[in-house]
A and B are shown apart, each in its own frame.
Chain A
Amino acid sequence: MIEVRNLVKKYGTHLAVDHLDFTMRSGRIYGFLGPNGAGKSTTMNIMTGYLGATEGEVLIDGHDILKEPEKAKRHIGYLPEQPPLYLDMTVREYLEFAAELKGIAREKRKEQITEAEKLVKIKDTEHRLIKNLSKGYRQRVGLAQAVLGFPEIIILDEPTVGLDPKQIIEIRNLIRGLARKHTVILSSHILAEVREVCDHILIISRGRLVASDTPENLEKMLGEHDQIELETDAQPSQVRLILKNMPGIESVETRTDSAGKTWAKITEKKGEDVRESVFRVFAGAQIPLLTLKATGTTLEDVFMELTQKDTVPKAFSDKTKREEAENDAGSV
């Protein structure tokens, strides 16, 4: 369990983190999402005790990271943006050093290191010097260091950067596997990754928390209007004519693709589902529908909406406030 209370970090006059406030429960995967320079890494660096905060506090299982650093840090495994590797050591030597530093008991060290190596699949490279490893392998060594000793909280700053697609899938599976027993916090600016892996997303923009919810809820909240896309052989004018007077439709846009097919994008009125009636109308007009699909709001839309604009949409600010109130009530 991690509690971040009113966290502020100033670099001179620049406000990197602006009154962040959130709670993270055990056994879930949290995703930090935000554009470059939003304050993700700074927040993670404060949460792990690498940096001091200007204001506010971070409690790791009830231990303040600044007041009881040794107790708090014992619960955390951290992979920073750039893996903290000593290039002149072999993988095994490095992990032995990290294990000793983390205070893992001597008799358990060997077994724990082997387990971590197997988990990230670097057992074969354990006697190679880190400076001779590729970027992907270095990232894995960093990851092995973070999971070493299996701390309750594992914090990963952009864990899949520099990996090839196959490795990315492996690492994602690994993260999901870890989440059964650990709290995993990862940051990323790759939306698909966060969407796929995380149970809960925190969107940060300009150092402020602008949204905090499950990926599904985030998408639902912004999607005030649902959209339907369809593909037919008919002319655009014909499609528009058919759809013109249908109830439940707000607007229709059509376009013709390179293969000569007509695509129509239908925006529904709020709360309506017109898919079935659209199908029936086209069937009645003897026009076959080649494609008919509902396209809700994607996380990408949510992200753009929240990070590009200065004001946060009402639905999100309401929701975030409500959650904060719930959290406060819970902690009291």
Chain B
Amino acid sequence: MLAVYKRELRSYFQSMVGCVFVAFLIAFTGIYFMAYNMTAGYPYFSYTLSGSLIVFLVGIPLITMRSFSEERKNKTDQLLFTAPVSLWKVVAGKYFAMATVIAIPNVIFCIFPLIIMSQGTAYLTVDYISIGIFFLLGCVYAAIGMFLSSLTESQIIAFISTFGILLVLYLWDGILSMLPSSSISGLAGVLILVAASALYCWHMTGNGVISGGVGAAGAAAAVIVYIVMPEVYENLLTDLLGRMALADVFTSVTSNSIVDVTGIALYLSIIAVFVFLTIQSIQKRRWS
């Protein structure tokens, strides 16, 4: 794992991608910092940071796009997967290298609140927590990007699909306000979810009986619940999908100074899920 980690990290800075990411994020944040904190005198660095969030939309796909697609294209994955190292260690090594690249600008950000403090009042707790959550959000995005990179051989497709998903997540609040809140639409949403999981099951196992069973049982349960107590489904879509506005956890710190611990748990679980999915998608390719 350490070998993969070291190689990846070195490669990020040899190929300039890592340098560009770090430089771009710091420069962008620096401009906001000058405008908000220095010129306008606003004492919260966290507010500046929420403006920098948009850099992640381009920056994260930039660092994740190569991770597995390039290995697959150049067939260097044959070295990794025939070495006596288990697959999860390879994936973890790569993921930690990405997390390290994301951590570098965040460590530098830690200086900014101190600059504010030297000029007057600073709110260090809020600022440092928001830097921490900003980093964690970057890691969540990186896990999504890494998974998409493991699905394709093309870096470009990996970049664009990651960018697309991150953009949708960024604009999620706007999209969410257009969703209906009636209970029948909630049922429809659940049924779509059941169908998707049955399809995924079929895709992974190739067993029609198991996936059909999962689909039928899920759909039956959903319909029975709807008949017995339809009120469960009211606002279900907005509640459920509202969870996917990942940046909310971060913005609630930056704009309201509220730290949502469940949100942090959500971040960590999303990271775990996507790292797991990356491993699964690589395993799947070996067996098909």
Find the A residue at minimum CB distance from B75. Answer: A82
Report the separation of the CA atoms of residues A78 and B4 in the bound assembly, to the nearest whole angstrom: 18
Contact partner, B74, options A49, A76, A84, A97, Cβ 8 Å: A84
Interface flag for A246 (CB, 8 Å)? no
Find the B residue at minimum CB distance from A48. Answer: B82
Find the B residue at minimum CB distance from A98. Answer: B79
A94 to chain B, nearest CB (A): 9
A55 to chain B, nearest CB (A): 12
- Per-residue A-contact encoding for B265-287, CB less than 8 Å = 1, 0 else: 00000000000000000000011
Contact A84 B84 (CB under 8 A): no
Contact B75 A88 (CB under 8 A): no
Question: Number of contacting residues on B, CB 8 A?
Answer: 25
User: Chain A interface residue count: which class?
Assistant: 20 to 34
Contact partner, A97, options B7, B81, B84, B288, Cβ 8 Å: B7
Contact B78 A97 (CB under 8 A): no
Contact partner, B85, options A71, A78, A101, Cβ 8 Å: A101
Chain B residues within 8 Å of A51, by CB:
286-287
Interface flag for B11 (CB, 8 Å)? yes
Chain B residues within 8 Å of A305, by CB:
none
Chain A residues within 8 Å of B81, by CB:
49-50
Report the separation of the CA atoms of residues A78 and B79 in the bound assembly, to the nearest whole angstrom: 8
Contact B3 A84 (CB under 8 A): no
Chain B residues within 8 Å of A50, by CB:
78, 81-82, 286
Interface flag for A103 (CB, 8 Å)? yes
A153 to chain B, nearest CB (A): 12
Contact partner, A103, options B7, B75, B82, B84, Cβ 8 Å: B84
B80 to chain A, nearest CB (A): 7
- Per-residue B-contact encoding for A35-72, CB less than 8 Å = 1, 0 else: 00000000001001111100000000000000001110
Chain A residues within 8 Å of B83, by CB:
73, 98, 101-102
- Per-residue A-contact encoding for B10-26, CB less than 8 Å = 1, 0 else: 11001100000000000
Report the separation of the CA atoms of residues A49 and B78 in the bound assembly, to the nearest whole angstrom: 9
- Per-residue B-contact encoding for A270-281, CB less than 8 Å = 1, 0 else: 000000000000
- Per-residue B-contact encoding for A80-121, CB less than 8 Å = 1, 0 else: 101011111100010001101111000000000000000000
Chain A residues within 8 Å of B6, by CB:
97, 100
Chain B residues within 8 Å of A76, by CB:
82
Chain B residues within 8 Å of A98, by CB:
79, 83
Contact partner, B3, options A48, A80, A87, A100, Cβ 8 Å: A100
Task: Using known A-B contacts A70-B85, A73-B84, A101-B3, determine if residue A80 contacts B14 with beta carbons closer than 8 Å.
Answer: no
Report the separation of the CA atoms of residues A51 and B282 in the bound assembly, to the nearest whole angstrom: 11
Report the separation of the CA atoms of residues A45 and B15 in the bound assembly, to the nearest whole angstrom: 30
**B: which residues have CB within 8 A of A?**
2-4, 6-7, 10-11, 14-15, 74-86, 286-288
A-B pairs, 8 with minimum CB distance: A100-B3, A84-B79, A52-B287, A73-B84, A101-B83, A48-B82, A84-B76, A74-B84
Known contacts A69-B84, A84-B76, A101-B83; 4 additional CB pairs below 8 A are: A78-B82, A100-B3, A101-B85, A102-B83
